[in-house]
Amino acid sequence: MNAYTAGVSTDIWQIRHTTLYRYSRPVAFGPHRAMFRPHESNDLRLTAFDVTTTPNAKQHWVHDVFSNSKIIFDFFDAPPSDTLEISCVFNVIRSSVAVPVFPIASEAQKFPFNYAKEQIPDLIALIKPEYNHPEEAVNEWANKLRRAAGDNTWDILTSINTAIHRTFTYKRREEPGIQAPRHTIDIAQGSCRDFAVLMMEAVRQLGFAARFVTGYLYDPLANQGGALQGTGATHAWVQVFLPGAGWIEFDPTNGLIASGNLIRTGVARTPSQAVPLDGSFKGAAEDFLSMDVDVQILALAPTLTS
């Protein structure tokens, strides 16, 4: 984690992720690709992992260009079926700091700043805005918040994260795809992935390096109505790179920063490179009926604090 280690909390969680596809008739399945395995680091460690499919599939693992772990399911020996269920369960140890303090390099504490020359070749694709056409509305929105925040780098980023959380309405969307950031601003609502893309595009417009993150969100109050938005399915948020501090996580859906409730499974330049599960089937488009996703996170032990 990119913070000093005072007041470290440690949690042990079990995550169960089940996806069920339904079809109007038995169909054959092409390869499916999943990004379920946690993106391990010093603050997130995997201790157990299992994944099953019905019908049964052969499995093998690959690393993508971002070193995310992806599992490939091959159904070439499986009989046709009118359902496909893919279920993953794993245990993780998650550490976090109650009040993180980020060691941002002195030269980057005031905006604007320049990334080090040796970092530019690695960061340039993550600084360039994703949308090809000029996004004047996003640029204007981001710069309005920048001007209000002043020239303090940290204040600018936290202002954007907070503005999305406080002024936009969360709406869970099951359909694939991402709203254009300009559209999200216009309608002032969206899903977690829409908010993540809006923040990512906004900070890139200002010259920050940012990447899309996919994973899960633990809500300790989920059984009591919930305190956080984006639980019960996969979640999306953003990482921004700051000299000295490295990659810092921002969850604009909930206004969180470097939260211990976030469980990374993948990072990418664009959301299309971080799809939790995708694949194909052989049949007519109208054969597909529905897809149901269920994510449950269980605390396996009380939180340990040191």
Residue 171 to residue 163: CA distance in whole angstroms: 16
Q: Which two tokens stand for residue 164?
A: 């999305």
Q: Return the SS3 of 136.
A: helix
Tell me whether the CATH fold assigned to 8-95+276-305 matches the one assigned to 102-273.
Answer: no
User: CATH number of the domain at 102-273, out of 1.10.3720.10, 3.10.620.30, 3.40.50.620, 3.40.50.300?
Assistant: 3.10.620.30
pLDDT digit string (tens) for 80-108? 999 999 999 999 999 988 788 899 999 99
Domain 8-95+276-305 sits in CATH at 2.60.40.2250
- Looking at residue 275, the DSSP 8-state letter turns out to be -
- Let me know: does 195 contact 149? Beta carbons within 8 Å: no
258 — phi, psi (to 5°)? Answer: 50, 45
pLDDT digit string (tens) for 265-303? 999 999 999 999 999 999 999 999 999 999 999 999 878
| Beta strand extents in the chain (DSSP E only) | 8-34, 44-54, 58-63, 69-74, 81-97, 169-170, 189-190, 209-217, 235-242, 246-251, 256-257, 262-268, 277-282, 288-299, 304-305
Half-sphere exposure of 297 (CA within 13 A, CB side): 24
Per-residue pLDDT band at 202 (split at 50, 70, 90): very high
User: Whats the size of the chain, residue-wise?
Assistant: 306
Share of the chain above pLDDT 70, in %: 96
Residue with tokens 């002024």: 167
Q: Residue range 178-186: average pLDDT? A: 93
Of 4-13, 117-126, 240-249, give the lowest mean pLDDT range.
4-13
Put residue 15 in one of left, alpha, beta given phi > 0 → left and psi -120 to 50 → alpha: beta
Contacts (Cβ under 8 Å, ≥6 apart) of 257 = 100, 158, 161, 248, 249, 250, 251
Share of the chain above pLDDT 90, in %: 83
Count the Cβ atoms, other than its own, within 10 Å of residue 15: 21
- Kind and range of the H or E run holding 37: none
Sequence spans of domains, the chain: 8-95+276-305, 102-273
Q: Residue range 203-227: average pLDDT? A: 90
Residue 246 to residue 239: CA distance in whole angstroms: 9
